[in-house]
Amino acid sequence: MQISSKEVFFLISLITIIFLIAPLFMIAYVSLYNRRKKKHNEETESLKKAFENELLRSQMEVQEQTLKTVASDLHDNIGQLLGLTIITLSSININDPAKAKEKIAAAEDLAKRSVKELRALSRLLDGEELISRGLIGAIAFELDWLEKSQLFKIRYHSSVKTLPAKAGKETIIFRLFQETLHNIIRHAKALEIIINLEFINDLLILSIADDGIGFNFTEIKKLHKGMGLQNIQKRVAMIGGTVSFDTAPGTGTKTTITIPY
Amino acid sequence: MTLYFTVNTVIEFFCLLIACLCLYKDRDPIWRLCILYLLFTCATEVSAIHIRKVLNQSNLPLYNVFLLIECGFISTFFYYLYKRYVNKTKWLMVWLSVFTLLFFGELMNNHFLSFTFKTASVLSLVFVLASLYFYYLILKDEKFERLYNYAPFWWVNGTLIFYFGSTSTNIFFDYLIQDKISNFAHSIRYIIFNILNVLLYCCWSYAFLCKYLQRKSSSSLA
């Protein structure tokens, strides 16, 4: 069968049109994908910003908490020591050298204790310094202060000796720990606090349990009272972890935070 | 004189003008080389018209020579475009060697008389693949580029449209070179190439404009 020139013309034109449309679709696809890439980049950027904001907030809260501890320590501990030193010194009778010597020695001892306490306090004052000890060191340091208050019996168990340094994550985890501890101090009416720190298969598991009054988690959440709890949940989610609250009225509370580390 | 004013020559000179204005002071030597390449293209086109219409001789040997320049320039340009993402010096060397072998093989086979259309078809196919590979690199790259004013993207768009669109005419080259459609003054191959040239040089002109604006904005920032 003979093909006419017109048929060839039609055929070639058709093929050319198809071959022209194909690259246009290709260009459209690349542009569309690129736009999605832009959107994805923007989302990643905003998540990064949110994380940085949260980190900054955590750092500020750690500092705030530290200042509160410092204030109460100054008032309850160092203030008392210095007051006692003043009383001791003012009661010295120069005419009774033997007693005066004894009192001066006692005042010196009190002043030395005050200096020691002040040094410890100055170390605590720098929130960043606290984190620079590493998460494990910071947790232990915080618990030491709490134990000194003699308000709670503290049981701390950690199977982790060292953790790889991850500055941002460490600050947020430490703040989560502080927040949970603060909740126990304020609301739980507990006598004993048990802290467990484990590191299994790149997962850091921090559990904080108390023998306090506990609470109805569902009800608290429904009444939108547990802003602190929501804050903990939000922060844990931000670093890709999970948190569970095992509690009921009268049975104490166990908060378990699991974070990929 | 009007003999030399065809759709092809007008669009080519227009693109050359844009290239001269936009790329004259460009920092990338490869982009500046576009001016020289377009100058060669225009000279080839005008000479081809002269040989065909004035001297009444076949201009195919001229296009054979131009094919060498075309391959050399476009391949090198692609190589420089890839360089931002990957280094493919070996690919360039292998491809240029294969092309030289094919080109001279076909030329000798034709006794230097006709156009090396088989080599031109391979060339088109390779440039289509090169354009698609460039898209792949853009998609793979984590960095985001605003494509609507990204000069390399528009340069590749023009190249892809031209070489992909010319596939059918390359396939039917033997037939088309003889064919005259009564309704048109020129062969269908000529009409298709007119359309493709317009698309190619419009995309390239836009790419040169983007490059100019990019240079201007970066120099004003500095």
Task: Give me the residue from B132, B168, B181 closest to A19, CB to CB.
Answer: B168
According to the model, what pLDDT value does residue B100 have? 94
Share of chain B above pLDDT 70, in %: 91
Query: Among candidates A191, A189, A127, which has minimal Cα distance to A154?
Result: A191
Residue of B124, B154, B155, B192 best to disrupt the A interface, most CBs of A under 10 A: B192
Mean pLDDT of A122-140: 72
Domain carrying residue A180: 134-261
Residue A119 lies in a domain: no
DSSP letter at B148?
A: G
Residue A67 lies in a domain: no
DSSP letter at A226?
A: -
Q: Give yes or no for a contact between A102 and A88, defined as CB atoms under 8 angstroms apart.
A: no
Average pLDDT value for chain B: 87
Decide if A56 touches B, using CB distance below 8 A: no
**Given an 8 Å threshold on Cβ–Cβ distance, is A24 in contact with B188?**
no
Write the CB contacts of A191 (distance below 8 Å, at least 6 apart in sequence).
A152, A153, A211, A212
Residue A188 lies in a domain: yes
Mean pLDDT of A77-100: 83
What pairing do the DSSP bridges indicate for beta strands A153-158 and A192-200?
parallel
Q: Which of A35-44, A158-167, B165-174 has the lowest mean pLDDT?
A: B165-174
Token pair for residue B221? 């920032």
Q: Is the pLDDT of residue B180 over 70?
A: no
Residue A70 lies in a domain: no
Mean pLDDT of B33-60: 91
Band of the pLDDT at A68, cuts 50, 70, 90?
confident
Q: Is the pLDDT of residue B37 over 90?
A: yes
Q: Give yes or no for a contact between A207 and A257, defined as CB atoms under 8 angstroms apart.
A: yes
Query: Among candidates A138, A126, A151, which has minimal Cα distance to A67?
Result: A126
Residue of B147, B180, B202 best to disrupt the A interface, most CBs of A under 10 A: B147
Give the whole-angstrom CA distance, residue A239 versus residue A52. 11
pLDDT digits (tens, 9 = 90+) for A157-207: 888 777 777 777 888 888 888 889 888 888 888 889 999 988 888 888 999
Decide if A33 touches B, using CB distance below 8 A: yes
Mean pLDDT of B156-163: 94
Mean pLDDT of A225-249: 83
Q: Is the pLDDT of residue B222 over 60?
A: no
Residue A19 lies in a domain: no
Residue A94 lies in a domain: no
According to the model, what pLDDT value does residue B193 have? 86
Give the whole-angstrom CA distance, residue A60 versus residue A66. 10
DSSP letter at B170?
A: H
Residue A27 lies in a domain: no
CA distance A171 to chain B (A): 29
**Given an 8 Å threshold on Cβ–Cβ distance, is A22 in contact with B164?**
yes
Residue of A6, A13, A26 best to disrupt the B interface, most CBs of B under 10 A: A26
Average pLDDT value for chain A: 82
For residues A117 and A250, the model is more confident at A250
**Given an 8 Å threshold on Cβ–Cβ distance, is B164 in contact with A20?**
yes
Share of chain A above pLDDT 70, in %: 93
A38 φ/ψ angles, rounded to the nearest 5 degrees: -60, -45
The most distant pair of C-alpha atoms in chain B lies apart, rounded to whole Å, by 59
Decide if A27 touches B, using CB distance below 8 A: yes
According to the model, what pLDDT value does residue A144 have? 82
For residue A146, the domain's CATH number is 3.30.565.10
> Does the model's ipTM exceed the 0.90 cut?
no
**Radius of gyration, alpha carbons of chain A:** 32
Give the whole-angstrom CA distance, residue B166 versus residue A10. 15
What are the extents of the domains in chain B? 2-216
Token pair for residue B201? 């040089």
CA distance A50 to chain B (A): 21
How big is the CA angle at B7 (ends B1 and B12), to the nearest 5 degrees? 90
Give the whole-angstrom CA distance, residue B192 versus residue B198. 10
CA distance A52 to chain B (A): 21
Helix (H) or strand (E) holding A50: helix A5-73
According to the model, what pLDDT value does residue B182 have? 47
**Given an 8 Å threshold on Cβ–Cβ distance, is A15 in contact with B135?**
no
Domain count for chain A, please give it.
1
Q: Give yes or no for a contact between B141 and A33, defined as CB atoms under 8 angstroms apart.
A: no
Mean pLDDT of B207-218: 90
- SS3 state at B166: coil
Tokens 């853009």 belong to which residue?
B138
pLDDT digits (tens, 9 = 90+) for B61-107: 898 999 999 999 999 999 999 998 888 889 999 999 999 999 999 98
- The secondary structure of chain B in percent helix, strand, coil, rounded to multiples of 5, reads 80, 0, 20
Q: Give yes or no for a contact between A140 and A130, defined as CB atoms under 8 angstroms apart.
A: no
**End-to-end CA distance of chain A, in Å?**
75
Token pair for residue A197? 């720190």
Q: Give yes or no for a contact between B32 and B23, defined as CB atoms under 8 angstroms apart.
A: yes
Q: Would you call A35 exposed, middle or buried from its count of C-beta atoms within 10 A (0-12, 13-18, 19+)?
A: middle
Give the whole-angstrom CA distance, residue B170 versus residue B90. 28
Band of the pLDDT at B185, cuts 50, 70, 90?
very low
Mean pLDDT of A104-114: 86
Q: Would you call A1 exposed, middle or buried from its count of C-beta atoms within 10 A (0-12, 13-18, 19+)?
A: exposed
Give the whole-angstrom CA distance, residue B106 versus residue B1. 35
